[in-house]
């Protein structure tokens, strides 16, 4: 199962963040544009033996391809591996995977890792207005109808039904576009709780990663979401494992622009600014990253404003990641005191509109974010 | 066999004639040593030996005994020539590579001696193809001077387990390190790649281990690029013998069973990488 988790994470991002915690081993990954985050939390019960060094919290990250290579062939793993021993050696900076296989074969992989910041997306499943839970088979079959090349999928819910359709780029040739729509009724789901009619659009590729994992384990997948622009949380849980995939969603009526707007820097929290009180009614995911002795800043700081095309493309939705103040009205639980962290926020700008089912309309959008970003940019060391 | 008369080759002048009912018994083995264009063929009354070399550091030999052939006639003690192996293989597989049960391509290979081309007659389902491949002066294969008396460590393994290890080997590593020792770790393959190192340990009492004779602890490194072609031979084989001698030269011998269940051998000799660390 560990191998499947790693393969699943590899679909999200290029790096695997490993953090042994008291409540289990957390494996996380985030994609380059920070629009998708996944976390696999294996409780200590999953392991036959789980010991973590007391006190000193440890985090590391490594290229996910390397770890994948250790668990390369899933089918042969199941047949041949009897025991897997994972050991972290701080002095030599090596993470050792020892696989005890059939016929006495011992495979030892010593992988080097980098110290990293803690990667944690803060989100609150409970406060989401809508929640669906289904057997993975249902979702897999649904997704099967869409071509593998499809980037984004739109999910619309009403009181009784769910629609899945492919999201067509405005820029794409209308004549060549093929729209596929699939409708599922509420009784196909294990749990169907819809607060309000909404429609969200998110990236399918990352979802597939989760579905592959869920299907192989047979565990039901839960989907928590709110309005467009606010992230969708897909979750698979059982007694020894908790998996959360957090994907950003498109705001209403625009194209997807993936911007890598991650600006990670040290020190002081950004000063309060006004943008939160503007008409953004979208939910925010706060990505908390606290800086440790992390020489490896894998994601280079980039000025968000340079990536904004919003001002020039009125129809483009912007999903940007930036530093900002923690929204007071958010109910997320934060794990560390605010004055030690800086965070990158993850949100979509949304026009306060109720036209939530039209994905095609072109509207001009208020560029709410860029101003504030400029502010925060300027004020930071 | 419908290929009884060949007037084109000047019938009586051949020095070597070899026939096979199923050409795959030859082509499959040759595929296992095809990493360079040219191969040195040496036929003796015992059979056929095909040698391919790379940069004077690696040598692969395939042995197909005379008994494998339905007909194997040789008029001299030793017949040698060099041909382009890629071209030869293309000809041998000219009817396509796929196996349809019951249908086999038959081969008759004739060689008239020095200066003459190698003539191949291939037949399948009544269709005959004649190929003539130009031969060249055979080079002398390197003698790695690997003799049994100098062998310090020898291990015979079932290919299954090695296949798995080789398929997972970290290719970013420039070398493959082989450690053989009478004590722990008995037989270890190690790679040192970008992400770290990996070790594959085979204990001496594993059921995959058929023979374990190690007298001295030896660690040798071999260039990964040189050993990579040997994986083709490994894939075909059912058993492998790994031997190292006192100089650190590596000998890999693969026991291959062909379609008809007959046994052929493929051998790889590799010289160690410059810096040899001794345990």
Nearest-CB residue to B195 (from A103, A107, A111): A111
The pLDDT score that the predictor gives to residue B132 is 92
pLDDT in single tens digits along all 279 residues of chain B? 444 444 444 456 788 899 998 888 888 888 888 888 889 999 999 999 999 988 888 899 999 998 889 989 888 888 888 999 999 988 888 887 666 777 788 889 999 888 889 999 988 888 899 999 999 888 888 888 887 778 888 889 888 888 878 887 777 888 888 888 888 878 888 888 877 788 888 888 878 888 888 888 888 889 888 888 888 888 889 999 998 888 888 899 999 988 888 889 999 998 888 754 444
- Measured between alpha carbons, how far is B33 from A141 in angstroms, rounded to an integer? 46
Nearest-CB residue to A110 (from B194, B197, B206): B197
- Measured between alpha carbons, how far is A320 from A318 in angstroms, rounded to an integer? 6
* Mean pLDDT (chain A, rounded): 61
The whole-angstrom distance between B73's CA and the closest CA on chain A is 45
Mutate to test the interface with A, among B164, B203, B206 (most CBs of A within 10 A): B164
Report the candidate in B35, B72, B75 with the shortest Cα–Cα distance to residue B51: B35
- Quickly state the pLDDT bin for A57 (edges 50, 70, 90): low
Residues B263, B68 contacting (CB under 8 angstroms):
no
Q: B161 and chain A: CB distance < 8 Å anywhere?
A: yes
Q: Please report the number of interchain residue pairs, chain A to chain B, with beta-carbon separation below 8 angstroms.
A: 64
Query: Which residues in A lie closer than 8 A to residue B196 (C-beta atoms)?
Result: 66, 94-95, 109-112
Task: Calculate the CA B98 to chain-centre distance.
Answer: 21
Tell which wins on pLDDT, A159 or A223.
A223
In the sheet where A120-122 sits, what is the strand order? A120-122, A285-289, A342-348, A319-323
SS3 assignment for chain A: CHHHHHHHHHCCCCEEEEEEECCEEEEEEECCCCCEEEEEEECHHHCCCCCCCCCCCCCEEEEHHHHHHHCCCHHHHHHHEEEEEEEEECCCCEEEEEEEEHHHCEEEEEEECEECCCCEEECCCCCCCEEEEECHHHHHHHHHCCCCCCCEEEEEECCCEEEEEECCCCCCCCCCCCCCEEEEEHHHCCEEECCCCEEEEEEHHHHHHHHHHHHHHCCCEEEEECCCCCCEEEEEEECCEEEEEEECEECCCCECCECCCCCCCCCCCCCCCHHHHCCCCCCCEEEEECCCCCCCCCCCCCCHHHHCCCCCCCCECCEEEEECCCCCCCCCCCCCCHHHCEEEEEEECCCCCCCCCCCCCCCCCCCHHHHHHHHHHHHCC
Q: B192 and chain A: CB distance < 8 Å anywhere?
A: no
The pLDDT score that the predictor gives to residue A63 is 72
Nearest-CB residue to A105 (from B194, B196, B206): B206
- Measured between alpha carbons, how far is A166 from B279 in angstroms, rounded to an integer? 61
Q: Which residues of A touch B (CB under 8 A)?
A: 62-63, 65-66, 69-70, 72-73, 76, 80, 94-95, 103-112
Query: Which residues in B lie closer than 8 A to residue A112 (C-beta atoms)?
Result: 195-196
Tokens at A39, concatenated: 């976390």
The whole-angstrom distance between B157's CA and the closest CA on chain A is 11
Report the candidate in A214, A288, A183, A201 with the shortest Cα–Cα distance to residue A253: A201
Q: What is the DSSP string of B202-221?
A: E-TT-TTEEEEEE-S-EEEE
For A249-271, the pLDDT digits (tens) are 776 654 333 322 222 222 233 33
Q: Is the dihedral of CA A287, A291, A296, A301 positive or negative?
A: positive
The pLDDT score that the predictor gives to residue A309 is 30
């Amino acid at each position: 199962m560990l191998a499947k988790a790693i393969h699943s994470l590899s679909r999200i991002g290029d790096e695997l963040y490993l953090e042994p915690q008291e409540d289990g081993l957390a494996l996380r990954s985030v994609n380059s544009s920070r629009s998708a985050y996944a976390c696999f939390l294996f409780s200590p019960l999953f392991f036959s033996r789980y010991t973590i060094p007391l006190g000193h919290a440890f985090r590391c990250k490594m290229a996910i391809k390397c770890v994948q290579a250790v668990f390369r062939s899933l089918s042969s793993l199941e047949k041949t591996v009897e025991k897997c021993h994972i050991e972290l050696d701080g002095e030599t900076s090596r993470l050792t995977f020892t696989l005890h296989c059939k016929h006495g074969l011992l495979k030892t992989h010593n992988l080097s890792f980098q110290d990293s910041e803690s990667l944690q997306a803060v989100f609150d499943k409970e406060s989401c207005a809508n929640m669906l839970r289904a057997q993975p088979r249902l979702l897999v079959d649904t997704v099967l109808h869409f071509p593998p090349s499809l980037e984004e999928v739109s999910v619309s819910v009403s009181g009784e039904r769910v629609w899945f359709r492919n999201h067509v780029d405005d820029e794409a040739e209308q004549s060549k576009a093929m729209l596929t729509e699939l409708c599922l009724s509420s009784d196909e789901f294990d749990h169907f709780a819809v607060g309000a009619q909404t429609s969200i659009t998110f990236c399918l590729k990352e979802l597939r990663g989760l579905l592959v994992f869920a299907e192989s384990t047979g565990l039901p997948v839960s989907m928590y979401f709110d309005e467009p622009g606010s992230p969708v949380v897909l979750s698979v849980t059982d007694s020894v494992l908790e998996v959360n995939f957090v994907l950003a969603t498109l705001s209403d009526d625009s194209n997807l622009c993936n911007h890598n707007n991650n600006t990670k820097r040290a020190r002081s929290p950004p000063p309060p600014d006004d943008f939160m009180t503007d008409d953004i009614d979208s939910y925010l995911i706060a990505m908390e990253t606290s800086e440790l002795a992390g020489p490896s800043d894998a994601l280079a700081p980039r000025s968000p404003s340079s990536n904004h095309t919003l001002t020039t493309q009125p129809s483009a939705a912007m999903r940007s990641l930036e530093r900002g103040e923690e929204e007071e009205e958010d109910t997320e639980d934060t794990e560390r005191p605010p004055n030690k962290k800086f965070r990158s926020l993850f949100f979509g700008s949304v026009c306060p509109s109720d036209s939530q089912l039209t994905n095609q309309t072109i509207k001009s959008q208020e560029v709410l974010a860029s101003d504030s970003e400029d502010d925060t940019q300027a004020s930071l060391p | 066999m419908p290929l009884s008369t060949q007037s084109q080759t000047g019938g009586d002048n051949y020095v070597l004639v070899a026939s096979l009912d199923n050409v795959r018994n030859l082509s499959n083995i040759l595929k296992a040593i095809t990493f360079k264009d040219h191969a040195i063929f040496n036929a003796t009354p015992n059979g056929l030996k095909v040698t391919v070399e790379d940069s004077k550091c690696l040598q692969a030999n395939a042995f197909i005994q005379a008994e494998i052939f339905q007909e194997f006639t040789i008029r001299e003690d030793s017949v040698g020539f060099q041909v382009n192996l890629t071209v030869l293989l293309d000809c041998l597989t000219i009817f396509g590579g796929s196996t349809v049960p019951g249908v086999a391509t038959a081969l008759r290979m004739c060689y008239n001696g020095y200066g003459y081309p190698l003539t191949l007659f291939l037949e399948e389902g009544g269709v005959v193809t004649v190929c003539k491949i130009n031969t060249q002066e055979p080079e002398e294969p390197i003698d790695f001077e690997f003799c049994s008396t100098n062998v310090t460590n020898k291990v015979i393994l079932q290919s299954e387990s090695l296949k798995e290890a080789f398929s997972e080997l970290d290719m970013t590593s420039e070398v493959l390190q082989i450690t053989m020792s009478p004590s722990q770790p008995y037989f270890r393959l190690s790679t040192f790649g970008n992400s770290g190192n990996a070790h594959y340990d085979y204990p001496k009492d594993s059921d995959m281990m058929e023979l374990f004779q190690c007298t001295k602890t030896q660690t040798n490194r071999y260039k990964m690029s040189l050993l990579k072609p040997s994986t083709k031979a490994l894939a075909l084989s059912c058993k492998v013998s790994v031997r190292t001698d006192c100089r650190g030269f590596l000998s890999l011998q693969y026991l291959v069973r062909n379609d008809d269940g007959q046994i052929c051998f493929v051998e790889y000799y590799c010289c160690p990488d410059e810096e040899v660390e001794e345990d």
